[in-house]
């Protein structure tokens, strides 16, 4: 059963969607030629919490990770080593 859900829109018509299970997780790489952002949604095996990890990449030209930007889970975000509490929804 799907636990993660994504949607994307662009210039070629309708919205595209994808789903993934807790076990599989989900990745996305949104990019231009020289800059991009990679996202990894997964479940932390130790805590069972959903986690989003964000990395800056060199885009299509250099898809390698240039910098780990953030780790986000319910209630907190770690950005550049600083832990920030998120507002409750």
CA distance linking residue 54 with residue 65, whole number of Å: 10
Helices (H) and strands (E) in the chain, counts: 0, 8
Question: pTM score, two decimals?
Answer: 0.85
Quick one: which of 74, 80, 75 has its CA closest to 54?
A: 80
Question: What number of CA atoms fall less than 13 Å from residue 54's CA on the CB side?
Answer: 12
How are beta strands 82-85 and 62-73 bridged, if at all? unpaired
pLDDT tens column, 34-76? 999 999 999 999 999 999 999 999 999 988 888 999 999 988 8
Mean pLDDT of the chain: 90
Question: What number of CA atoms fall less than 13 Å from residue 25's CA on the CB side?
Answer: 15
Cβ–Cβ under 8 Å, residues 19 and 28 = no
């Amino acid at each position: 059963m799907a636990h993660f859900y994504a949607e994307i829109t662009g210039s070629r018509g309708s919205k595209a969607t994808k789903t993934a299970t807790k076990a599989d997780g989900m990745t996305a790489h949104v990019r231009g030629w020289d800059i991009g952002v990679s996202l990894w949604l997964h479940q932390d095996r130790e805590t069972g919490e959903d986690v989003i990890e964000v990395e800056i990449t060199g885009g299509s030209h250099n898809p390698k990770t240039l910098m780990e930007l953030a780790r986000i889970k319910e209630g907190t975000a770690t950005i550049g080593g600083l832990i920030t509490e998120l507002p409750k929804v």
